[in-house]
Amino acid sequence: SLAAPAIAQESPKVRWRCTSSFPKSLDTIYGGAEDVAKYVREATDGAFDIQVYAAGEIVPGLQAADAVSNGTVEMCHTAAYYYVGKDPAWALGGVIPFGLNARGMHAWLYYGGGLDLLNEFYGTQGLHYLPAGNTGAQMGGWFRKEINGLADMEGLQMRIAGLAGRVMEKLGVVPQQIAGGDIYPALERGTIDAAEWIGPYDDESLGFYQVAPYYYYPGWWEGNLSLCCYFNQESWQSLPENYRSLLGTATRAATTEMLAEYDYKNPQALRRLIDAGAQLRAYPQDVMNASFTAAQEVYAEINGENEAFKKIYDSMMQFQSETYLWQQVAEYTYDTFMMIKQREGALAGQQAGGNQ
Amino acid sequence: SLAAPAIAQESPKVRWRCTSSFPKSLDTIYGGAEDVAKYVREATDGAFDIQVYAAGEIVPGLQAADAVSNGTVEMCHTAAYYYVGKDPAWALGGVIPFGLNARGMHAWLYYGGGLDLLNEFYGTQGLHYLPAGNTGAQMGGWFRKEINGLADMEGLQMRIAGLAGRVMEKLGVVPQQIAGGDIYPALERGTIDAAEWIGPYDDESLGFYQVAPYYYYPGWWEGNLSLCCYFNQESWQSLPENYRSLLGTATRAATTEMLAEYDYKNPQALRRLIDAGAQLRAYPQDVMNASFTAAQEVYAEINGENEAFKKIYDSMMQFQSETYLWQQVAEYTYDTFMMIKQREGALAGQQAGGNQ
């Protein structure tokens, strides 16, 4: 290796603020922004310094993208579907009901043209978009009473937002938008019958199992959730090329990191929840099928009136049929076999007296 | 944003050589090293410049780690299991038969203590290890004749290496080690009956379907393959902290990138292979079960005589039973539902007249 003395580089001092849509208590998802900031700060020896602010410190969590658009802050870390009220097309940078899983999302974003299509849309909002972090497939929510079939969904007051709420409405569910901290008392009082949140690790901290013990899966509205950074376009363009490249690298790294962190923490949390009395249940097939059909109706409605949505949606859906063709071969068959061994208690870790 | 004039940074000029274990023709897996080099070069404005060399340009592909140990080059990009001849423990940084899938591997590496355990072992070889890229679950190889059950495996000459070869031997298979370029003629002449390689995209280029049309899945010896960089320990320690951090970020980013690239390219290649006459087949369940049992026997043998292997293996296997507990809930159930819809031709991309 040839090491020469330090020389002056094009590394201007840049200090940015990043507003997160998440509280620090959701440490994994909030940690996505901290990961990006850390990777960038360390690589530049502190020259490019991003300070992360939790939801509410600068603006409320659901206004993160607006704070970036209007230049209050240079960037945010958020979930794209929080902004479907502006335009349903926003959701496509996060996830849509019966959309892609995490592997499919990343393949579509980075190789299937997704990133360019999304940036074409977000560009009209004054933003540059980079995916940053993923939760994997989420859970389907907590219910006060067991759901034995589609009829049991009728009339339920459920805390569920965005496009998923619109799909649920077609099943007779009454969607409610309630902030995280207000869900527990609403479930306890019976003001709502059910609530979806994220997955075992994050759900555990809010204690839902104590008041709504039936824990359903899968969260068909979040087969993955791709978190993202939005950058103010002028701020983004003001960066030197090396810093822009570094943000691309740091956000990709944050994706590996967050998924790994959830995949490590969720099994432990799931075990604790079950020990504490949570009742794990699969959604009945008629609920899954009716939800799928209802989602296609919602998409037909949106596509009929929203060209921006349709253009991105068509690309994502074309890739979806492609990716599931492949994933069902080696990946799924391998996992199926291993899960059968897990249920038999035959895995080496189980034979060694580990968890059953 | 506060932008100050450029200042001198601790960014010494460093020029490194990285030897890859792969030829440029395997562009995705070879590209992992190029991705790491690009991310690092761009972030440092060229100050940290890693030149990547294909297999054979400096040393043969299977000697990449040795070239790093002995200081011929500062780093390599390779598959850890290539070096099981030195010690089976090497394999654990890549994948072992009936090991983790990609999600499980990353969770174990970054959060389950895997990275530290592996570096404790690789440190004894003068190396520092960072995972960099993943293929996902691989295919189970190409066969000249159909395999209808365990009896059909008996006496087969199969190109398969390392621990998987040792497992296959217990099934009566005669494992052969043959370089990539020699597989096709050996299959054509019938010198061997079967050969495993990677997955659709990489396998397609070698044309195996023309001489051994039965394409089996899953590759139970590669539920994932975590590629990696090894760094010469002295070279690693000579780097300033910011460059070490950047390599950690760049390798995590390369993992997102390579998996996305394979997941994008494999479905297309699978489709082309089937159109060209490849016969897709699942391994019969008795072959899967006998292989699983044989693998446990191999691990019992190794664990009985190899403390370094056992320590890492036990940690990996303890996490394996944990991760499959969780993955079978939301993730697997969601994918199962979507794959059923895919087989029904009901996905939006299929309904729109896309691929069936």
Q: Which residue pairs from A163-169 have beta carbons closer than 8 angstroms and sit at least 24 positions apart in sequence? A: A163/A81, A163/A84, A163/A88, A163/A91, A163/A96, A163/A97, A163/A221, A163/A298, A164/A97, A164/A196, A164/A221, A164/A222, A166/A298, A167/A97, A167/A221, A167/A291, A167/A294, A167/A295, A167/A298, A168/A291, A168/A294
From B4, B43, B349, residue closest to A317, measured CB to CB: B349
Tell me whether A279 touches chain B (CB under 8 Å). no
What is the average pLDDT across A263-289? Answer: 98
Nearest to B289 by CA among B143, B153, B156: B153
For residues B203 and B186, give the distance between their C-alpha atoms in angstroms, rounded to a whole number.
Answer: 15
How far from the centroid of its chain's Cα atoms is residue B244's Cα?
Answer: 23
Residue of B nearest to A283 (CA): B333
Q: Which residue has the tokens 């490249």?
A: A245
Domain B14-135+224-265 listed as CATH 3.40.190.170: yes
Give the CATH H-level superfamily of domain A14-134+223-265. Answer: Bacterial extracellular solute-binding protein, family 7 (3.40.190.170)
Rg (CA), chain B: 21
- Mark B289-304 as b/e (b = at least 16 C-beta within 10 Å): bbbbebbbebbeebbe
pLDDT of residue B179: 81
> CATH 3.40.190.170 region(s) of chain B?
14-135+224-265
Percent of chain A with pLDDT over 90: 93
**A51-71, pLDDT tens digit by residue?**
999 999 999 999 999 999 999
Q: Residue B134 is encoded by which pair of tokens?
A: 């993943």
Three-class HEC string of B236-251: HHHCCHHHHHHHHHHH
> How does pLDDT run across A187-226, given as a tens digit for each residue?
999 999 999 999 999 999 999 999 999 999 999 999 999 9
- Collect all residues of chain A within an 8 Å Cβ-Cβ radius of residue B252: 252-253, 256-257
Token pair belonging to A153: 């969904």
pLDDT at B9: 53
Whole-number Cα distances in Å, A143 to A26, A158, A183, A211, B177:
22, 9, 12, 9, 56
Among the partner residues A39, A280, A318, nearest to B349 by beta-carbon distance? A318
Burial class of A85 by CB neighbour count within 10 A (0 to 12, 13 to 18, 19+): exposed
Assess B101–A contact: CB distance below 8 Å, yes or no.
yes
Measure A5 CA to nearest chain B CA, in Å: 6
Instruction: Report the distance separating Cα B99 and Cα B126, nearest Å.
Output: 26
B114-143 pLDDT per residue, tens: 999 999 999 999 999 999 999 999 999 999
Q: Which residue has the tokens 């253009």?
A: A311
* Superfamily of segment(s) B138-221+276-306: Periplasmic binding protein-like II (3.40.190.10)
Q: Which regions of chain B are under pLDDT 50? A: 1-8, 355-356
Q: With beta carbons under 8 A apart, name residues in chain A contacting B49.
A: none
**Mutation choice for A interface testing from B289, B337, B356 by most A CBs within 10 A:** B337
Start-end of H helices in chain A? 27-43, 64-69, 102-111, 114-123, 162-169, 180-189, 200-206, 233-238, 241-275, 285-305, 307-327, 330-344, 348-351
Give yes or no for residue A177 having a pLDDT over 90.
Answer: no
pLDDT at A1 over 90: no
**For residue A7, what pLDDT band results from cuts at 50, 70 and 90?**
very low
Q: How far apart are CA B33 and CA B131, in angstroms?
A: 11
CB-CB neighbors (< 8 A) of B349 in chain A: 314, 317-322
Distance from CA of A237 to the nearest CA of B (A): 12
Helices A102-111 & A114-123 angle (0-180, nearest 10): 70
Residues of chain B with CATH 3.40.190.10: 138-221+276-306
